[in-house]
Amino acid sequence: RDRVSTQSTWGCHANTADGPQVSGRTVNCSHLTVAARRNIGFAMLVSKKDRELVYRYLFKEGVMVAEKNFAIKHPSIEVQNLVVIELMKSFKAREYVKEQYAWRHYYWYLTNQGIEYLREYLNLPPEIVPSTLKKTARSFPQTRPDGDRPPRMGRGGGFGGGAGGGGGGGFGGGRDDYRKSAPAPGDFKPDFKSEE
């Protein structure tokens, strides 16, 4: 239960105290980099303390972000980044999280199955939910007392435009002023000839 398995690309059969066995013989992998060790197919041992730190953070936030750098500690948790990435890959395989990868960063989002698993693993009551599922109080009221929308920035409102602003894009009035103006005269016929 405290192991996180990675996929084998060299056909490792079993891990021993000396190292993994590849095609029946024990391999000494102490000289390999972390990335090379991952490709051999190690079963990674994770301490219960580190596992619980990662699980508690994931349940509390509902999301997890980790840079693809195996040599550093995770910025939010006092756990190696490699441990976080491997635990999340295990969760992804069991469909407890959804994974996105962009610009050398992994992004994991907790699924409903993952919430149930973590709630059971961490012995949490049903009323405790991740922060991604909590309703937030709105900072502005739903309806405005005067029934009007707040001013917009750019064309037709905000800086230099809209009601009382004097210029929707520099044309002497906002969008509403344009709509209220008189239509084109009845005998108006636009000419689209190019001047040569």
- Residue-wise pLDDT tens digits, 28-42: 555 555 555 555 556
- 167 pLDDT exceeds 60? no
CA nearest neighbour of 117 among 135, 99, 90: 90
- 106 pLDDT exceeds 80? yes
pLDDT at 43: 75
pLDDT at 190: 78
Give residues with Cβ within 8 angstroms of 195, minimum separation 6. Answer: none
- 109 pLDDT exceeds 90? yes
- Helix or strand (DSSP H, E) at 87: helix 81-93
pLDDT at 39: 56
Q: How confident is the model at residue 146 (pLDDT cuts 50, 70, 90)?
A: low
On average, the pLDDT of the chain sits at: 74
Please compute the mean of the pLDDT values over residues 110-127 and round it to a whole number.
93
Q: Which of 8-17, 31-40, 102-111, 127-136 has the lowest average pLDDT?
A: 8-17
CA distances from 23 to 9, 14, 29, 135 (A): 12, 10, 15, 54
- Could you give the strand order of the β-sheet that contains 20-22, starting from the edge strand earlier in sequence? 12-15, 20-22, 25-26
pLDDT at 17: 47
Count of C-beta atoms within a 10 Å radius of residue 19: 18
Please compute the mean of the pLDDT values over residues 128-142 and round it to a whole number.
75
- 133 pLDDT exceeds 60? yes
Please compute the mean of the pLDDT values over residues 125-153 and round it to a whole number.
71
Name the token pair of 81.
């980044």
Name the token pair of 142.
């739903």
The CA R_g of the chain, rounded to the nearest whole Å, is 30
The model's pTM: 0.52
Q: How many residues belong to the chain?
A: 196
89 with 98: CB under 8 angstroms? no
pLDDT at 193: 79
- Helix or strand (DSSP H, E) at 116: helix 112-121
